[in-house]
Structure 1
């Protein structure tokens, strides 16, 4: 068994992440594996914790878009072996509760069960094998950190029943999840898409990749859309999405509102809209789909949308989050 120390980033109070040094246990539970984490994406939910919008007690470890290599396996684990490259779906599904039996494992009654030692901003994690997905060999290992958020984007797209070739479609907010929504839509369908973000450089990065298929929405333009994906993370984005929605339109809310729950605008019911709130990656079926799509379609040019930061700089990444130019930030443990 691999023993030694483990650097783990822990939030000890709002706006204060520190690295702690934990001893790695000599004992691994029978159904667990130990993973050397290689990359972990930065999610808006992590930032909500960092800002103190969510308080589940301190200290807590953050990071749930992680991938890495298995370095040890418990004696009851048969599906994985040392050396496997895996991504981690952080959502526990018991498989037997009412919601799991209904095919809604993301709403599992035992979803708060955490069978792992820490989350993804760390060198190692001990975790039950049921959370894992073996990944293909990518051209670069950092693509594994995009699998979990892409699975959320795929789930949102499937819920939307969006058809780009027939429906005017808008993505509001092209940070990490919005960027992956655009990627999924354009790489799996024909047609064009509209995007809007307060930070124009994020729109420009996507426009450079898909110059003939992306249209940038002018704030003065009053057009409406049949399908609106709201991924801004703010209640203002929700209000904007409602305003942009056509009659009988579909608003797909991917944002998680942690500090400013939005109110429904007065006149919205007159449009008779359909509003869907996307929770995590659904029942998990989108997770392997995301792994395959990342292998087939994410090319070197897409990497220009990413920035990479060392684990030792994780507090600076969160404190300077708004000034970092990339659409998606990734912490590297290398």
Structure 2
């Protein structure tokens, strides 16, 4: 095997990420593919692990928004070749259970089989081929690290049945997933949207790209909205969304409240709202749609929303996450970006 050592970022305790070198196995299971990882986005779930809000035992490897090139294939693999550029869809889909048959394969009854292996903050990963998706040819490979979170945003938008041209829509929280929600709403639908985030520079970055289609909500503004996407990751964001939701409104919760789960306000049921909790990306075709939307609509100007950091800086990225001005952070294991 040409590659002998794998640099892997592991969380060994809350707020302590370390880089370890693992020996690369000479064996590759017959239904697995070996990938040289190039980029992996930082998700709010990764951040919650880092802060100790979730404890599934230590050490733990993080990262699931990764992409890279195939460098070896198992003997049973026919759908991929060495040199293919792929991204990882972290949802197992058996293809035959009830949920897979009705187009909700992200809820697969057999997802607990968990063939999902080494995570994305590493230089290599061996992964079951069922999780791979071939990517289009991008102008820059780091764009493929946006595909998985964008697929979640597309699924949330689809479930919401939002029509910004005829109803008031608000995105609360424009970090990574909120920014991609705004991107999908503006690039796929007509009309304008409102955004709110406690960090003014994140709102300004989006407003600069869409000056005529984004309106920034002031904290003191008490207007209500027909559709609200809650992507702040905090219970305060959820409570704010409940307060701003119109009667018969639709609240789409993309946040995951790992450490501070909010209670539903007493008065919310009187609005007769519809609540959706959307954390996953739906059918596999949503992933394909996200890959193509990034290729067709993510411009060089959109790159200003993203910052890229070498894996050697990963501890800094997680520790100073809120002080890094970009809306979305991506970790790179290559120097060629």
- Aligned pairs for 1:35-54 within 5 A: 35-54=35-54
Contact 1:14/1:51 (8 A) holds in 2:
yes
Mapped partners of 2:216, 2:149: distance in 1:
23
The match for 2:319 is 319
Distance 1:34-1:57 versus aligned 2 partners, 3 A rule: same
Mapped partners of 1:240, 1:58: distance in 2:
35
Contact 2:90/2:116 (8 A) holds in 1:
no
Contact 2:9/2:62 (8 A) holds in 1:
yes
Contact 2:249/2:273 (8 A) holds in 1:
yes
The match for 2:66 is 66
Q: CA deviation at 1:116?
A: 4.4
Contact 2:207/2:214 (8 A) holds in 1:
yes
The match for 1:11 is 11
Contact 2:116/2:131 (8 A) holds in 1:
no
Contact 2:255/2:279 (8 A) holds in 1:
no
TM-score normalized with structure 1 length: 0.98
Contact 1:195/1:216 (8 A) holds in 2:
yes
3-state DSSP of counterpart to 1:151: helix
- Is the aligned partner of 1:169 residue 2:169? yes
The match for 1:228 is 228
- Aligned pairs for 1:1-334 within 5 A: 1-334=1-334
**Deviation sequence 1:81-134 (CA, Å, 0-9, x none):** 000000000111222334333432222233233324410000000001110110
Structure 1 stretch displaced more, 94-103 or 248-257? 94-103
Mapped partners of 1:58, 1:203: distance in 2:
36
Distance 1:55-1:112 versus aligned 2 partners, 3 A rule: farther
Mapped partners of 1:246, 1:117: distance in 2:
43
Q: How many residues align?
A: 334
Mapped partners of 1:133, 1:306: distance in 2:
23
Structure 1 stretches lacking a partner, 5+ long: none
Mapped partners of 1:222, 1:232: distance in 2:
18
Contact 1:2/1:71 (8 A) holds in 2:
no
Mapped partners of 2:71, 2:29: distance in 1:
14
Mapped partners of 2:284, 2:233: distance in 1:
22
Distance 1:280-1:89 versus aligned 2 partners, 3 A rule: same
Contact 2:31/2:76 (8 A) holds in 1:
yes
Structure 1 stretch displaced more, 86-95 or 151-160? 86-95
Mapped partners of 2:129, 2:20: distance in 1:
25
3-state DSSP of counterpart to 2:111: coil
3-state DSSP of counterpart to 1:285: helix
**Deviation sequence 1:187-246 (CA, Å, 0-9, x none):** 011110000000000000000000010000011111100000000001111100011100
